[in-house]
Amino acid sequence: MTDLQKASFSKRISAFLFDAIMVVTIAVAIGALLSWVLGYDGYMTTWNDKIEYYETEYGVKFDITEEEYNKLTDAEKEHRQKGIEALGSDEEAVRAYMMMFSLALVIITFGLLLAILVWDFIIPLKLKEGRTLGKKIFGLALMRTDGVRITTFSLFVRAILGKFTVETMIPVLIIMMLFFEQIGIVGILVLLGVFLLQCILLISTHTRSAIHDVFAVTVVVDYHSQKIFDSVEDMIAYKKRIHAEQAAKKEY
C-alpha cells in the first residue's frame, strides 16, 4: 500500500458528529411516522390510564424513589405491592405494556436502519469514495486498507453490519431493555464491553479503525492527499513505476 494519509482526529470527530446528528434527525422523523402508523401513542395512553386507575384505587404511587419507598410503613408497602400485583394481573394493561415495548423496538430499529442505509450507504455511493456529507465537508474519504477503492459490498458491510448492527442496535436494545426493566447488570456489562472494544480499536490499530472499519477492512483517509487505486493491479503498476523512476534517478 502507498503511504497512508490518515485523517486527523479532529476532522474525524467533526465529521462523525455532523453525520450522527443527521442520522438521528432522519431516524426521529421516520420513527414519528411509524409511531403514528402503528398506533404507539394509543398503547401508551392505555398504560398510563391503567397506572393512574390502580394508583387511585389503592391510594399509592408506583413510580417513587428508593428514598421515598424506605419512608413508607410496612402497611403502606404491602398496600403498594397489592396495587402493583393488581396492575400486573390486568390483561389489558399487560398487553399495552408489551405492545409499547414491541412497537418501540420496531420503530427505533427501522428508523435507525433506514437512516443509516440512506446516510452511510446510498449517499456515499453517489458521492463516491465512501463519503458521507460529513466526510465531504471535512475532506475525508474511505478506502480499503490495501489502498484500493472501497467496493459497494464493503460499504454495505461497514454501514449495516458494523454501524447499524453492532455499534447502534446492540447498545440501543440493551438500553431499551434496561428502561423496560427486562435486563440487569449483564446488559450494562455488555454495553461497557462494546464501548471498551471501540476505544481499544481506535487507539491501538495502525489505521485508527472503529468496529465498522474492522468489519469492512476499510480506513478513513484524507481525501485530498491520499492516492486511491481502482484495483490491486493498478497499485502494483504504480509502485513499479515509482520504483523505476527512483532507480533511474540514482544512476545519475
Is 108:176 a contact under the CB 8 Å cutoff? yes
Is pTM, for the whole model, over 0.85?
no
User: Please, which residues bridge with residue 219 across strands?
Assistant: 143
Q: Where in the chain are the domains? A: 9-250
Determine which of 5-9, 11-15, 241-245, 248-252 has the lowest per-residue pLDDT on average: 248-252
> Is 60 exceeded by the pLDDT of residue 1?
no
Determine which of 27-36, 91-100, 205-214 has the lowest per-residue pLDDT on average: 205-214
Residue 196's pLDDT band, with cuts at 50, 70 and 90, is: very high
Residues 177, 168: Cα–Cα separation, whole Å: 14
pLDDT on residue 251:
56
Residue 184's pLDDT band, with cuts at 50, 70 and 90, is: confident
Q: Per-residue pLDDT tens for 152-176?
A: 999 999 999 999 999 999 999 888 8
pLDDT on residue 187:
84
CA dihedral 224, 225, 231, 234 (to 10 degrees): 120
Q: Which residue has the cell 456515499?
A: 124
* Contacts of 30 by beta carbon, 8 Å cutoff, 6+ apart: 110, 111, 114, 115
